[in-house]
Chain A
Amino acid sequence: MKLRYFAWVRERIGKPEEEIEPPAGVATIADLVTWLSGRGEEYAHAFENPRVIRAAIDRAHVRSDAAISGAREIAFFPPMTGG
């Protein structure tokens, strides 16, 4: 699946997107955040406060308990500040 990062999540991780294949057992957005956090300091820094991280699956907002199975594109970003 494709991961996309925006704003300071993108800056901390150091790239706008990547392709990943999470291991079996990574079932939800929260699981994915935990798994990504273990991939390196830049991920741990980006996800150090999971409560402020927002997520979207295939371009629709989801909660952290949303299942990721079948997702093509998952995005992580800070709370939005448009308008």
Chain B
Amino acid sequence: MAATVRLQREPFDAASEAEKLRRGRSDIGAVVTFTGICRGDEADAPLVAMTLEHYPDMADAEIARHVAAAERRWPLLGVAVIHRYGRIQPGEDIVLVVTAAAHRQDAFAAAEFLMDYLKTRAPFWKQIELAGGGGTDKIWVEAKRSDDALADRWAPSSGRRAAE
């Protein structure tokens, strides 16, 4: 199955990516489309913009590896992952995960698995710009323990940090 993995600075069109996966096919019974969006506030402070830094070659490989893992784990009929980098304004899309399967359980589970791994294992780092007194404050977003816990639940032996 040919999966799409793309890193790009430009916005993407979630609807057309989902449409591409199912076009001309009658074996697909479920498509899950998840879009992660840049919020306009962080802990009640207004957010001016967010900049995503990434490790180009590793990010591609790491996402492709997790897409392959999802394909081994669930009977998927299509996968697309698009992750943006660079400066992103509130209201703009950041990340897209589309999964297609015969049945909804597989499509939902695979999409959640991929998002949990993107959050904790894909080499991206978010820096936010908050409106401050005399300009903007740039702050690196800290990793959340709750995101680690969500990713860990997919590990073969739960409770172990997925550092491999």
Contact = CB atoms under 8 A, between A and B. Distances in A.
A binds B: yes
Given A59-B58, A81-B124, 6 more contacts: A63-B163, A75-B58, A79-B143, A81-B141, A83-B115, A83-B122
A80 B58 contact: no
A61 interface: yes
A15 to B, nearest CB: 14
A60 B58 CA distance: 7
Interface residues of A, number: 17
Nearest to B117: A83
29 contacts: A6-B123, A56-B55, A56-B123, A59-B61, A60-B61, A61-B62, A61-B121, A61-B164, A63-B164, A77-B123, A78-B125, A79-B143, A80-B119, A80-B122, A80-B124, A81-B119, A81-B124, A81-B125, A81-B143, A82-B54, A82-B59, A82-B83, A82-B118, A82-B122, A82-B124, A82-B125, A83-B94, A83-B118, A83-B147
